[in-house]
């Protein structure tokens, strides 16, 4: 595993750890979550999604013995190379 992948996974782990506490804070009626806090968290989620998509589009995967590449576009599809 390359360093870039380890860093991406570590950041994904941190973000994942932050999801439940943030959601619980939003559901707690005694705590106010500002629009700015919600926006900042949404930005983190979207940025991670873009990083994961970018990484996936640059790397093929092996599925059932076939190399699979990810094509980006409006309707993302998997293309299996024979």
Write the CA distances from 44 to 9, 16, 23, integer angstroms.
Answer: 14, 11, 14
Over residues 16-75, the pLDDT tens digits come to 999 999 999 999 989 999 999 999 999 999 999 999 888 877 766 655 656 555 555 544
Predicted TM-score of the model (pTM): 0.64
- Asked whether residue 81 carries a pLDDT value surpassing 60, the answer given is no
Per-residue pLDDT at 80 exceeds 70 = no
The answer to whether 25 and 31 are in contact (CB under 8 A) is: yes
């Amino acid at each position: 595993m390359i360093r870039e992948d380890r860093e991406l996974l570590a950041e994904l782990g941190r973000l994942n750890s932050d999801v439940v506490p943030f959601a619980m804070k939003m559901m707690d009626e005694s705590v106010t979550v500002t629009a700015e806090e919600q926006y900042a968290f949404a930005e983190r989620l979207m940025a991670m999604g873009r990083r994961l998509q970018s990484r996936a589009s640059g790397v093929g995967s092996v599925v059932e013995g076939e190399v699979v590449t990810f094509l980006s576009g409006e309707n993302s599809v998997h293309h299996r190379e024979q």
